[in-house]
Structures are given as C-alpha cells and as structure tokens.
Amino acid sequence: MRCHQTPKANLEDILDTLPISAICSDTETGKVTHVNPSFCEHFGFVFDDMTTMEEWFGQVLIEPYEFFQRVKPWMSQHTGTRSSATLDTTLLCKHRRQKRVSIRFTLLGDTKIWYLRDTTDHWVVEERLKVRGVMLEMVAKSSALSDILNVIVLQIQKESPQTVCSVLLFDKSEDRLRLGAAPDLPDFYNQAIDGVKIGMNVGSCGTSAYLNERVVVDDIAAHPYWQDYKALAAQAGLAACWSDPIRSSKGELLGTFAIYKMQPARPTEGDFELIQFASNLASIAIEHFRTQEALEHMAYSDHLTGLANRGAFFNKCDIILKDALDKKTPMSVIMMDIDNFKRINDQHGHEIGDLVLQSLAKACLAVLRRKDLMARIGGEEFAILLPETDKEEALIIAERVRVAIEKDTVVDRHHQLIPFTASLGVTCRSSGGCLTDKLLSRADKALYQAKADGKNQVASLDPS
Ligand SMILES: Nc1nc2c(ncn2[C@@H]2O[C@H](COP(=O)(O)OP(=O)(O)OP(=O)(O)O)[C@@H](O)[C@H]2O)c(=O)[nH]1
C-alpha cells in the first residue's frame, strides 16, 4: 500500500503491519501521503481517493455541520508531539456504509499520523440498549403506540442511512394492514397503503403478512409482488423493500416491519439482523398495547353483546354532557327496553333470549352513526347516547332503531322465526344543564310512557 519510496518508508512499513487503520499526512500541506491496508479494508478508500484530510472529512462526515463545529477545532488544537484528544464521530465509508469511529493523531517530524478505530459494533450495541430502554419506559408509561413505534423506526433509520422504515399493524378482523408508524414516508404513500388487504403480490408487506414470512424485494420496479404498486413506489422514490412479519410471543401475526431503500439493493447479514431487532422491539410494544386494549375492553364492555357496559356508558355520558354544556351544543339520549322479553325467555328458552339480545345489538349498531354510543345497562335494558343531536333528530334516529328491531328476527332450532320489538324513550339535555342521572331518569320516564301506550313505539319527554 506504500505510495512512494520515501525516507519515511520504515514508518510506513510499520503502519502497514498494524491492525488499526492509519493515514499519514504532511503537516505543511495537509496532503495525505500514505494509507495503510487496514484503512482501505475497513473504510473502502484507497490512496488515490485521498487529497487532504480536511477534504476527506468534508466528504465522509454524516453531519456536514460537524466539520466546522467539532472536527476543525479538534484538528487545530493539537500542536505538541503527544497524541491528540480522541474524536468520536460517524463516517460514511466509500461503499456507503455508516461507521462509528474513534480518531486521534500524533505528530512525527513533518508527518501527522492519524489512527482510526472502528467502534461501530460497540456503538450499535449501546444504541440498541438505549432505544430498548426508552421503548420499555414508554411501554411502562402506556405512551401512545404510534409514539413508541416512531422511536423504533427512527432508531433503525439512524443506524442504517439512506433507509426509510415503516410499521404496519395487522387488523385480524378484516385481514388488513393499518398504518402504525412511518414518519419519513410521504403522506400520499401512507394513505394509499393504510387499510390494504393482505394477499399475494400486495407489495412486500402485504405479501409478507399473507405468507407470514420475510419477503425481500431488491428491485421494486421488476418484482411481481409490486406489480400493482410499483407506480406508487416510484412516485415515493422507493426502489427496494424488505419486510418482516412482526409476531407475538405466541407466534400470531401482529404486523410488519419494512425497510425501504432509494436504490435497488440486496440486504446484507447486518440488515437482516437489524430488521429482526426492530421486529422484536415492535412486537413487545404491540403485544403490550393489544393486551391493554383487551383488558380495557373487558372492563368496559358487556360480554354478551360486545356493547359498552353500564359503567362505560355513564362515564362517557358525563364527558359528552359536560362538553355539550361547554360548547352549547345539543345532546340527546334514548332508553330502550325489549318488549315482553320474559315471555320470549319462557316460551323459547334463555338461550334464544340471549340470541335476541345479541341480534338486537347488531341491528341497532347498523343504523346508528359512528359518533353514537350504545350500551347494555341492564338485563334487557339499553341506552344510546347521541352527541350533537337535538330532540327532532333524536326522534328520527329512535324511530329508525325501532323499525330495525321490528324487522329483525332470530331462528330457533326448529327453524321457527322469532320476532321481537322494543320500546324507546327519548330526551335531550336542558339548556341550563343537568346531571347524567337526571337526563337518564327523564329518558326512563319517556320509556315508561312508550310501554304504557302499547309498546313497540317511541315516546319523548322535554326537559321542561
Ligand atoms: N336470556 C336472558 N334473559 C335475561 C337476561 N337478563 C334479564 N333477562 C330476562 O329479562 C326478563 C325481563 O322481564 P320483565 O322485566 O318482566 O320485562 P318484560 O317481560 O320485557 O316486559 P315489559 O318490559 O313490560 O315489556 C326476565 O325474564 C329476565 O330473566 C339475559 O342476560 N339473558
């Protein structure tokens, strides 16, 4: 690797035997006069790539501002013959790999000898421990899942330059992938992918989720998996993508972790290890979040119908009522009770009674709006919260619910259709404001009226 036979040949011979990377430069001109084989091997540069150390730093520093803020002052501080202070920084090798290095130099006559130690492995371990700690702390504090996933994605992008990552979450009920975190992918791309149904040839992630195995696509433009999405990927500047299924501790699919590249590329062993690390971290976060969700669902929902339970309904009602008073918006509630339910139970059995409760809940949800909240607050008693809804609109909704129930039936084991009906009481909040209890008791009175007037009908009671 010696470039010239000079009087410094002995020194260069010694440097050439060292396992540590070394560069010699002229103290006067700053020109690089020698690089040892270890430097070429670790960083990919050869002697002909080097002019001065200043220029080289200008090319390889990851953060351009670092040259004037850190590197230049560090270079000029040292004048004596002892070794300089150590500079820890991140460089981009000739083959575009990012490396963490510790650099120092010494003066020997008119030669400056630079020593570069590759500390990447150590740095990666430290960084990963750090991000793992941050993530576990966020999990313990029940931070939003998207925030936790963002931390993981940003860490992977930091470790692997020219990389953009995404986490998609698996929605088992619909076999779709939903956006979990992809802070550096363009919005139009995220919107197009959000909700995509998994299957063969649905990009790297859709296919990876479908096959429940890692998918590597090194050239999106030419791969059949991307046939229907390659124009979208090209618009987002994406050229390669490998995707790993994120699995729970029981092996169930939770989502996918994807690494995108801007140029066609094949993953290295290091990339596989990186995506595995990311998938494992994401799996801890998602699994914890799903467990929390399931616990909350159990605490706040009715096991038979899946509707909100009494406690959840009262809590939500308090919040919506306060909000309606603050914003001076209308709000209504409906109380509902199945007609002659005892008779249904007595004639057809408790199991059929349960089926009626479940079927009625479904029929009502189908005609309610997304913002409405329906709850089972007693055996055959239901309540419906209608935010931003005045009495006239509430009466229309109540009638729609009544008709939906009237049209619904369940079938017994002899294939006999069993119809059922319900009575409904409607009220709206008073202009002065009232408590949830008062509001519900007024709706209850209206319900009582509907029962008294012959059942299978809607009655209302004004606040006045
Ligand atoms: N199958 C089933 N029945 C229930 C459940 N909870 C309460 N019930 C029954 O609901 C019935 C309520 O009867 P009642 O209060 O007399 O009311 P009703 O027969 O609907 O009469 P009206 O309200 O006047 O129309 C009772 O037979 C309860 O056993 C449940 O979870 N499943």
Alpha helices in 141-242 (DSSP H): 145-159, 187-193, 203-211, 230-235
Question: Which one of 241, 267, 295 terminates a domain?
Answer: 295
Going by pLDDT thresholds of 50, 70 and 90, the confidence category of residue 435 is confident
Mean pLDDT of the chain: 92
Q: Can you tell me the distance from the alpha carbon of 331 to that of 309, in angstroms, rounded to the nearest whole number?
A: 20
Query: Does residue 1 sit within a domain?
Result: no
Assess if residue 300 is contained within a domain: no
**pLDDT of 81:** 64
The torsion angles phi and psi of 427, rounded to 5 degrees, stand at: -150, 165
| Boundary residue ending a domain (102, 118, 134) | 118
Q: Do residues 151 and 196 both lie within one domain?
A: yes
Give phi and psi for 115, each to the nearest 5: -115, 130
If one residue of 309, 335, 380 were mutated to test the ligand 1 pocket, choosing by the most ligand atoms within 8 A of its CB, it would be 380
Asked if residue 35 is part of any domain, the answer here is yes
Query: Does residue 202 share a domain with residue 154?
Result: yes
Task: State residue 329's pLDDT score.
Answer: 92
| 74-133: pLDDT as tens digits | 988 766 667 888 999 989 898 878 889 999 999 888 899 999 999 998 998 998 999 999
Residue nearest to atom 27 of ligand 1 (CA): 342
Residue 436 CA to residue 322 CA, distance in Å, equals: 9
The encoded tokens of residue 184 equal 């550096």
- Is a pLDDT exceeding 80 seen at residue 161? no
Residue type, position 217, single letter: V
- Together in a domain, 373 and 352: yes
Ligand 1 mutation pick, 302, 341, 350, max ligand atoms within 8 A of CB:
341
CATH of the domain at 136: 3.30.450.40
Q: Cα(53) to centroid of ligand 1, in Å? A: 87
Distance 23 CA to ligand 1 centre (A): 88
Residues 404-431 have pLDDT tens digits of 999 999 999 889 999 999 999 999 987 7
Return the ∠ at Cα 444 (arms to 443 and 445), rounded to 5°: 90
- The number of domains in the chain is 3
Q: What is the CATH number of the domain that holds 95?
A: 3.30.450.20
Q: CA–CA separation, 213 vs 179, rounded Å?
A: 19
Tell me, yes or no, whether 374 and 236 share the same domain. Answer: no
Residue 305 included in any domain: no
Supply the pLDDT for residue 2. Answer: 47
Q: The domain that contains 404 carries what CATH number?
A: 3.30.70.270
- Both tokens of residue 172? 């088992």
Q: Which of 342, 360, 451 to mutate to test the pocket of ligand 1 (most atoms within 8 A of CB)?
A: 342
Q: Find the 366 Cα to ligand 1 centroid distance in Å.
A: 23
Which residue's CA is minimally distant from atom 6 of ligand 1?
Answer: 379
User: Ligand 1 atom closest to Cα of 346?
Assistant: 27
Tell me if 4 is assigned to some domain.
no
Per-residue b or e along 98-130, where b marks 16 or more CB atoms closer than 10 Å to that residue's CB? bbbbebbbebeeebbbbbbbbebeebbeeebee
* Token code pair at residue 62: 């990851």
301 belongs to a structural domain: no
Return the percentage of the chain with pLDDT > 70, whole number.
97
Same domain, 290 and 415: no
10-19, 74-83, 213-222 — which is least confidently predicted? 74-83
Q: Which of 438, 218, 227 is nearest to 333 (CA)?
A: 438
Residue 440 and residue 326 in one domain: yes
Residue 109 has what pLDDT? 86
Alpha helices in 30-179 (DSSP H): 37-43, 53-60, 66, 72-77, 120-140, 145-159
Residue 257 and residue 380 in one domain: no
* Beta carbons within 8 Å of 55's beta carbon, 6+ residues apart: none
Are the C-beta atoms of residues 346 and 327 closer than 8 Å to each other? Answer: no
Least confident of 154-158, 237-241, 270-274, 430-434: 430-434
89/167 same-domain check = no
Q: What is the pTM of this model?
A: 0.67
189, 328: one domain:
no
Task: Supply the residue whose CA is at minimum distance from atom 29 of ligand 1.
Answer: 342
Domain hosting 212: range is: 123-295
6 pLDDT band (50/70/90 cuts)?
low
Q: How far is CA 369 from CA 301, 315, 321, 331, 332, in A?
A: 19, 20, 18, 14, 13
344 φ/ψ sector (left φ>0, alpha ψ -120 to 50, else beta): alpha
Domain final residue pick, 53, 86, 118: 118
Same domain? 132 vs 258: yes
* 109 and 21 within one domain: yes
Q: Which atom of ligand 1 is nearest to the CA of 378?
A: 6
Cα separation, 8 vs 2, in Å, equals 10
- Is 2 a domain residue? no
Distance, CA of 234 to CA of 59 (rounded, Å): 28
**250 lies in the same domain as 204:** yes
- Which residues sit with their C-beta closer than 6 Å to ligand 1? 337-343, 345, 350, 353-354, 357, 379-380, 451, 455
Q: Identify the residue with better confidence: 63 or 287.
A: 287
For the CA atoms of 386, 353, 356, 383, the dihedral, rounded to the nearest 10 degrees, stands at 0
- 291-329 pLDDT, tens per residue? 988 888 888 999 999 999 999 999 999 999 999 988 999
Q: Does the residue 176 lie in any domain?
A: yes
